[in-house]
Chains A and B, each alone.
Chain A
Amino acid sequence: MKEVFLSNCEKSFIQKIISEGHRLDGRNYNDSRKLSITFGSGYGSCIVSLGETRILAQVSCEVVQPKQIRPNEGILYINVEISPMAAPQFEANRQTDLTVYLNRLLEKCYKDSKCIDLESLCIVVEEKVWSLRVDIKVLNHDGNLIECASIATLASLAHFKRPDVTRSGENVIIHTLAEKDPIPTVLYHYPVCSTFAIFSNNILISDPSFIEESVCTSNSEEGNINGGLLVVGMNQYKELCLLNLSGAAIYNTNIAHRATLSAADKCKTIVDLIKKTIIDDDNLRQKRAKINFGDIITSNHLQSLSRKDLSICLKNFDVKEQMLQNDTADVMDVEISMEPSKYDVVQSLPQTAELKAKKGASSWIEISSESEEED
């Protein structure tokens, strides 16, 4: 399917509200969406969700022959895949510019910054080394894939443990997880990417959503791009590992400096969160608790629409208050009151509301004793 075209009114609306200090989902310029990391049953698999953007990462390892020029170093391989699951415009098994871009950024951030001790992955020099493969699968694309993918990569690499090996003469024995405790990957430092959308060469917006990303990299009315995406990779010691700009050139020297300052604090909190979740997960595993991706299935968030929340949220908006006042002048109330019979308006996040099917008697169509699936 072709990509949904960004309309001029959407574009100018977003540019306008951003220049006035607002964002579509009610965040401030520096706010990120909610970040959550869930680990799967095996070592090195995790699902990271940043707002509605969701990414699955899986690390696997195998023994291979090392490269000729680096005979005593293991190999790190990163592979990004975007399937039609992420958004309908992507095609299956096809490399797009976005996949190549993501792959290259992640390689720069994790391979070129030398955060992994590759020498510890060596088993026999010039013969056998561990090759780590990180598979990144985009499940839902709602903007800021880079930041989400980098968190997923880092979390899965830090969580991953490889089987222990012993050498006896010529032979190398790989022990199963039951025989010997597996060995964690050694990370010297924890780099994380954070993305900033630049609007009108002056305003920096952290963690842009899908529509904000497409607006800031699109052409303006005069035909030239005056915004862009700035990716800053930083580790927990506030050292810069990666800087990437797509879109228009920056002529405001202040912007890159402001972005790095803001990224430094953000990366620190993200790395702390990753470390904390890994320690919590490790404690649970030692108590032999069963950890599984099935845990992400919740029943406390049932919507009738695939959009989790209405994508427009207002600052200082309370559904309950609005319902009491019965204020139909509000845009959001008008939108909701179109289908009053089937859905209830419930409060979800502080500044937003969502539609939910009314509880109670369901009107299933019963056809004699036969069946009911008239979809």
Chain B
Amino acid sequence: MEIEDENNFKLRPMKCELNYLSRSDGSAILAQGETVVLVSVNGPLDIKSTSQSIEKATLEVLFCTKGGKPSVADRFKENIIRQTCETAILGCLYPRTGISLTIQELEDFGGLLTCTVNCACLALLNSGIAMRHMVAAVCCAVSEEGNLVLEPSYTQVQSASALLYFVFDSRERNLVTGFTEGSFSENTYEEALARCRLASDVVFDFYRDIVKQYSDVI
């Protein structure tokens, strides 16, 4: 397994603002390259008794596209984000409550899901909900020639033969979620996983920089 220039990751420039919305408990707007996502977190709050769980908080995720009707693809994204965030949140501290996570897509130029996961993590940090660990998502594309491209741009996504998404935790850099589109070899998968794992450090450093600006204790 060969990793070229492993310290030289070019992730797309990230820009973030916390507390963008005044009526939510926590909110974050994140731009990764040209993709922009807005996430708000409310909770722990009172929910109807049918969806309450006596063991842990129920996480409700809602993904809103920019325009048009809701589709099956949105439900798929909601599922991925819910499963990812459920592992990150210490839900057992808030039994019989609900935490609602609302996501609004603002611009989609590739890598929408990674941007959404990262933004959701920042919003959760902002809301002050107890978490086991943070999560960072990194996307990797396999171009037609078989090269790996970290955080592909819009045109690279369109022409890619496969897309691989990985989400890591902040403690041991373990894989939390992984999903793929297209076909690729086993070696490519291993290499992409290793590269994305190293690149996730950049995302965690970014989280730290952002949170540092807003509060001096965490």
Contacts and interface: CB of A to CB of B under 8 A. Distances in A.
Interface residues of B, number: 53
A303 B19 contact: yes
A307 interface: yes
Interface stretch (B178-186, B190-198, B208-216): B208-216
A60 B66 CA distance: 10
Contacts of A307: 22
B146 interface: no
Nearest to A40: B107
B102 A84 contact: yes
Given A135-B66, A304-B214, A370-B171, A142 B107 contact: no
Contact of A306 (B24, B45, B125): B24
Interface string A53-82: 010101110000000000000000000010
Contacts of A374: 218
A134 to B, nearest CB: 8
B174 to A, nearest CB: 12
Contacts of A41: 34, 107, 109
Interface in B68-121: 68, 70, 100, 102, 104, 106-107, 109
B117 to A, nearest CB: 16
Interface string B17-45: 11101111111010100101010101001
A375 B131 contact: yes
Interface of B: 15-19, 21-27, 29, 31, 34, 36, 38, 40, 42, 45-47, 60, 62, 64, 66-68, 70, 100, 102, 104, 106-107, 109, 125-126, 128-131, 133-134, 170-171, 208, 212-218
Contacts, number: 156
Given A358-B216, A373-B133, A373-B134, 4 more contacts: A139-B21, A292-B34, A306-B22, A342-B217
Contacts of A139: 21, 38, 104
16 contacts: A41-B34, A60-B67, A84-B62, A85-B24, A85-B27, A85-B38, A85-B40, A139-B21, A140-B24, A292-B34, A297-B15, A299-B17, A308-B19, A360-B216, A364-B218, A375-B130
A140 B23 contact: yes
Interface of A: 1-2, 40-41, 45, 47, 52, 54, 56, 58-60, 81, 83-88, 92-93, 133, 135, 137, 139-142, 290, 292-294, 296-299, 301-308, 342, 357-358, 360-365, 370-375
Given A139-B38, A290-B34, A375-B130, A56 B106 contact: yes
Contact of B170 (A81, A302, A363, A371): A371
B143 to A, nearest CB: 23
B136 to A, nearest CB: 11
Contacts of B36: 292-294, 297
B64 A81 contact: yes
Nearest to A301: B17
A173 to B, nearest CB: 23
A1 B19 contact: no
Given A58-B67, A84-B62, A142-B22, A297 B171 contact: no
A98 to B, nearest CB: 14
A85 B104 contact: yes
Contacts of A365: 218
A324 B15 CA distance: 36
A306 B26 contact: yes
Nearest to A375: B131
Given A92-B62, A373-B170, A305 B216 contact: no
A83 B34 contact: no
B21 A293 contact: no
Given A139-B104, A297-B16, A56 B216 contact: no
B22 A342 contact: no
B213 A302 contact: yes
A141 to B, nearest CB: 6
Among A93, A294, A360, the most chain B Cβ lie within 10 Å of the Cβ of A294
A58 B60 CA distance: 25
Given A88-B24, A294-B31, A83 B102 contact: yes
